[in-house]
Structure 1
């Protein structure tokens, strides 16, 4: 019986090639989109699950009150880890402190490579269950040892055994390789960590023992693993005031409150406002999950529409089958088997689409995903998902076609009726409404990105190069470095700074000014720079001047931004002074607000001071008459001359700034990709419907041509119904899109509005696409010779 069903289904597919192609193509694209989104969601939802203790690990964070608002920080003072072990040991199996997250120079003989690394307490590898290829997880108990990733081992030692070899960290610390761990997947917090060194190594190298107020700086992250039967919620409440009890009266004004955030939430729930979690990437998981469902639904709608549209052609078949004894249930099985064959073929094509498009999709999504061929769960989910698609796509045609009455069909009195087309029209409206919502959403995302990109940033990004420097070799020879670079003609100006112009070195609460509320806790962004820094980066002065070597008094001077002047209530800040770390500093300059962190957030109060020591970055303004490639080569030669021990690392400031939009750009590109496919599927459906409609009305068209109807009149007659349907879908989609995108824009404090032109452009585009799609069939039908269509009359 089943073999017979499938044989008939195959014959029907072969007989109606265009109809079959449209059905299989639409379903395969819809299934491919759903699979790609499913793989992306799987990757997001499985973040950090590589760690076996994933469900019992949490990161300690703190809420602090600054500038009248509650902020959430990851950074914590290093004595906290010991306090948690001492006072709450029963709640935690491990308390692990880590610091120094970032690029570090690793040297082996003549090999000098910057690798991302951290300094961590000895229990860390065990807590994170690192898969050790060589050595053991307790290797960090030896304060002179280091463990490295498999990729780092390959980069330095090739196929040789790295165990016992010595690497030099930041040209300061010798460390013996005591272990190699398997590279962690990209969807892990520790994914890019190339080495882990003992915390004590950093503690000794930086002489932290002499720190006068160790509870002040927040430069560590603290991780905990819950003890067996311990409650994370209860422990979070217990530790809340542990920092508050140990800080000075000044820091107590910040009202620091500790809490635990489970590792299961770190990636997807990473946004906080006023001390409360407001979500984060989880909104994109939901959003793309819903898009995947709707795109697949569009493909299923096509199948239902085209299957039921051809009902009159299948009516006699149903009538004969029923007349010779077929039960309705058997007919339902027959039609389900036809849809199952289409879905099975579409599934195979979809797998091919996914395999071919994964490299592009990974690049856009910044992932390293692959089809989980060897994972049983993948096959269970995909087969179940295919059966569900068959159920959705085949249910309506199966129940509808099997309901025909054989008497009416065989007597020739069967007509589908005036209202039979209503469900199909409703489905077409749903199709285009979904597509229009996706298109409007894509436009709004890209407009928001462009709006933020066009935001005044307070300095000149063009031609700025930031060069990372290690140690103080460049600082000691800065005058000579500057002379040599100027001689090359590639550089207009240069200066040192704690960080590149796109960031700030840190923040400080050690600022006082006249009329400051003594109970107010403040948090100003701060950065140390050298003389001429403002000239190099192009600060836009509202008053005063830049730091200059011509004024010795500038060692006790600061430059502030507009946000700081406004916050302190200063109308003429260059006539004022502030107390900075207990010393009086004259405000010599007021600059326009500089966008240094998120381009979507308000600028925070900031203060710049003259750095007495070495900065970590040299910022250079390239001569606009020299090509960037030539300039970089000459700059590198000079830096190698004065600091041969340090690899030359540079970045163009405009490119670094552009990367700040990476997440939103990925969302926009993915939304555009899915919107395009949604439109493609919808157009396939329109093409099929127009083809069927033209075929159904071929004699009417012939009669009208004989009576003198023009091609334009016929085109208008056949296209009007589709234009009405698309117009209705626009009216439905517009308010839905406006509501959804208005809510999305609320995530950004610096945001664009939703222009009426977005809806107008989308509407015109949708109608144009509809006309182009339908016109192919309608004009073809209108051009047909009426003799052929009427010769049987």
Structure 2
């Protein structure tokens, strides 16, 4: 019996080729998008799920509340917290303090071999391997990190540094790192690499005890409670009876004990579960937004629902063509449940073919949108989550898409079906009602997607075209080695400035516009007291304003001494001054010292358009310059100029691998997430329109075919082709108008929320809403019009010859 069901299902599939093609294409698009998004979500939630007792592991974060200045969460903690947390919180069974080094130069002293820069190096104590156990190839996990100047490395790092040695032979070998100073440590252990997704990407663990002097602790900001550095991290494992709320209460008690209530900012701590690190601040800058994943889920669901609606819509519309088949089957003894099973089997066959087709579509989508997917995403069809998807998804989809058409078809009465009487018309037809409303839902989704894409694109174009307050074109930059010698940096600046195609070079702590942010307080004199101003700080040299072509309002363009500062127009406004010249020579208190204002510049966007321009103070401290910016004269070959700049850089820093990049390309990354959202929605928009158009094509071709006699009679009675087109199209115009009305609010709600994130934004462009509605209307009328026109041109005599 089951074999017979599948045989009949396959015959029906091959007999109605157009219907089958529309079903397969629509469902395969929905399945492929769902399958890909399903794998992205499974991948995002797979990080660090393999650690024992992972639900009891937390990272401690710091929250600084500046009142009106805002809340600033930080994954780092002050160094002293790690010293006292296990003593003050009995629920903490293990703790591990880390200090991550970024772009640290590594070399092997024995071979005098430079190994390049790494960001997967950390100071760690022995508690790390108690919280995150590893397979030890050699070494004692209890003592490997006890002594100063010892290091544990991973197997992959051993193969890179000492490829000729076994793990046992590597014990005692030395590795050196150049950071604040040169640190040399002996290998005391080798551990296996993690073979599952993790955000704990460290490959070299230097003993935390190596930070054994007060000078070193002060340098790394580990000496006092008031110093919080995002590189200083603390992990804890708590007892099974302790939840996050109890841990947070204990952390609050510690904060109250060690911080004064009179401090300007309130500092507190909170526990972040290990499972949340991949969605916040991790060690690889590959954090995934939960909101983005939620948005992907909605997009995938909508595309799949549209494909299902297509199936239901077309099947119910074509039900009448199978009425006699149902009548004959019932006359021959078929029961309703057998017919339902038969029709569900047909749907299952369609879904299976669509599932097989979707495998090819998945690869096409990955090829097109590969840059939007996680770089380490590997789709294994034989993995447990995917096997579950392949088994459960087709069955679920078969029930969702096939149950209603099966109920409709199996419910026909034999005597009426054989006579062609499908039921008594009482003025309301559930089938017609559903077809119209399902079509409305399809067009609603299409119009909403179009509106979203149009408005997002306009906002991105707006922020990309607004004046920045500086000139970003023809600017190249490179990162400098951390704590490079000031004399070397000055030599590099001089050498680059001597190039014939360079108009200027500047050293600074950060780029003129970047994601970097240094905030502080400045105090300006007001009568006999001082007024506090919450400011942004930039560390720059004397050429910074000129090279970046920032507007100069008063005083000097450059800084000549450590006690001089340059401020922006917003700072002058906060001081209560209207004339920039009045600020020149005034003294302010900043960073505990008196500073003299020697220059005033115009406001410029040092951050994204999501944020307002803050009052700014520019100061100078050559020791902490980390970036060099070069302006190229107009008309140069930029590729050649970039190559020449890198050659000079290599001469000064022969062991560095840094390269020059264009500032405008860096700034494009400000809105990378927004562009990603726009492009994802654009793809969803295309698929929604494509699926809806295919459904409308199949539905209109069938329904118009059912009205050929009506059309022929109207032509005989004198109706013109235009009148017939208007008659048929009127129904679809009403459907699109209803869809447009339903699409407005969800699109507006999302866009209003998204635009609120920007301080500088466009007004809601309602004209684009109408453009989206008109666009869908034209697509609809084109599809329906082609079918209607073909039917209207048919010779009535051929249609009515049997009447």
TM-score, normalised with respect to structure 1:
0.90
- Alignment-derived partner of residue 275 in structure 1: none
2:691 aligned with 1:681, yes or no? yes
Separation in 2 of the partners of 1:762 and 1:517? 61
Separation in 1 of the partners of 2:612 and 2:288? 19
After TM superposition, the structure 1 stretch with the greater mean CA deviation from structure 2, 388-397 or 782-791, is: 782-791
Post-superposition shift, 1:642?
Answer: 2.3
Q: How much is the aligned-residue C-alpha RMSD, in angstroms? A: 3.2
- Alignment-derived partner of residue 148 in structure 2: 143
After TM superposition, the structure 1 stretch with the greater mean CA deviation from structure 2, 66-75 or 532-541, is: 66-75
Separation in 1 of the partners of 2:293 and 2:555? 49
Separation in 1 of the partners of 2:390 and 2:713? 50
- Alignment-derived partner of residue 83 in structure 1: 84
After TM superposition, the structure 1 stretch with the greater mean CA deviation from structure 2, 732-741 or 696-705, is: 696-705
Change (3 A) 1:366 1:448: farther
Deviation readout 1:59-104 (Å, 9 max, x if unpaired): 222332326344133133212211213322x221222222345322
Q: For the Cα contact (< 8 Å) 1:496–1:619, is it kept in 2?
A: yes
2:650 aligned with 1:640, yes or no? yes
- Alignment-derived partner of residue 590 in structure 2: 580
Separation in 2 of the partners of 1:543 and 1:370? 57
Deviation readout 1:542-592 (Å, 9 max, x if unpaired): 43332255xxxx331111234434444454433522112332111122333
Q: What aligned pairs does 1:728-767 form with structure 2 within 5 A after superposition?
A: 728-767=738-777
Q: Of 105, 108, 117, which aligns to 1:114?
A: 117
Separation in 2 of the partners of 1:22 and 1:98? 57
- Gaps in structure 2 of 5+ consecutive residues: none
Q: For the Cα contact (< 8 Å) 1:504–1:526, is it kept in 2?
A: no
- Alignment-derived partner of residue 131 in structure 2: 127
Q: What aligned pairs does 1:148-163 form with structure 2 within 5 A after superposition?
A: 148=153, 152=157, 163=170
Deviation readout 1:209-229 (Å, 9 max, x if unpaired): 588963332112322222342
2:372 aligned with 1:369, yes or no? no
Separation in 1 of the partners of 2:205 and 2:468? 37
Post-superposition shift, 1:382?
Answer: 3.5
Q: What aligned pairs does 1:341-380 form with structure 2 within 5 A after superposition?
A: 341-380=349-388
Post-superposition shift, 1:301?
Answer: 1.0
Post-superposition shift, 1:255?
Answer: 1.9
Separation in 2 of the partners of 1:136 and 1:578? 56
Deviation readout 1:175-211 (Å, 9 max, x if unpaired): 44543542576x64335x4544333445659622588
Change (3 A) 1:407 1:221: same
Separation in 1 of the partners of 2:699 and 2:341? 25
After TM superposition, the structure 1 stretch with the greater mean CA deviation from structure 2, 46-55 or 706-715, is: 706-715
Q: For the Cα contact (< 8 Å) 2:61–2:270, is it kept in 1?
A: yes
Separation in 1 of the partners of 2:79 and 2:534? 20
Q: Of 629, 634, 642, which aligns to 1:624?
A: 634
- Alignment-derived partner of residue 263 in structure 1: 274
Separation in 2 of the partners of 1:751 and 1:130? 50
- Alignment-derived partner of residue 468 in structure 1: 479
Q: For the Cα contact (< 8 Å) 1:253–1:520, is it kept in 2?
A: no
Q: For the Cα contact (< 8 Å) 1:112–1:647, is it kept in 2?
A: no
Change (3 A) 1:248 1:536: farther
Separation in 1 of the partners of 2:396 and 2:436? 24
Q: What aligned pairs does 1:377-388 form with structure 2 within 5 A after superposition?
A: 377-388=385-396
Separation in 2 of the partners of 1:792 and 1:159? 92
- Alignment-derived partner of residue 37 in structure 2: 37
Separation in 2 of the partners of 1:786 and 1:133? 87
Separation in 1 of the partners of 2:94 and 2:223? 26
After TM superposition, the structure 1 stretch with the greater mean CA deviation from structure 2, 422-431 or 46-55, is: 46-55
Q: How many residues align?
A: 778
Q: For the Cα contact (< 8 Å) 1:98–1:118, is it kept in 2?
A: no
Separation in 2 of the partners of 1:36 and 1:517? 66
- Alignment-derived partner of residue 231 in structure 1: 243
3-state SS in 2 of match to 1:318: helix
After TM superposition, the structure 1 stretch with the greater mean CA deviation from structure 2, 766-775 or 394-403, is: 766-775
Change (3 A) 1:244 1:70: farther
Q: What aligned pairs does 1:412-427 form with structure 2 within 5 A after superposition?
A: 412-414=420-422, 417=425, 419=429, 420-427=431-438
Q: What aligned pairs does 1:164-313 form with structure 2 within 5 A after superposition?
A: 164=171, 165-170=173-178, 172-177=182-187, 178-182=189-193, 188-191=198-201, 193=202, 195-201=204-210, 207-208=216-217, 214-219=224-229, 220-247=232-259, 252-268=263-279, 281-313=289-321
Separation in 1 of the partners of 2:726 and 2:96? 73
Post-superposition shift, 1:471?
Answer: 5.7
Separation in 1 of the partners of 2:115 and 2:257? 45
Change (3 A) 1:202 1:691: farther
- Alignment-derived partner of residue 802 in structure 2: 792
- Gaps in structure 1 of 5+ consecutive residues: 272-278
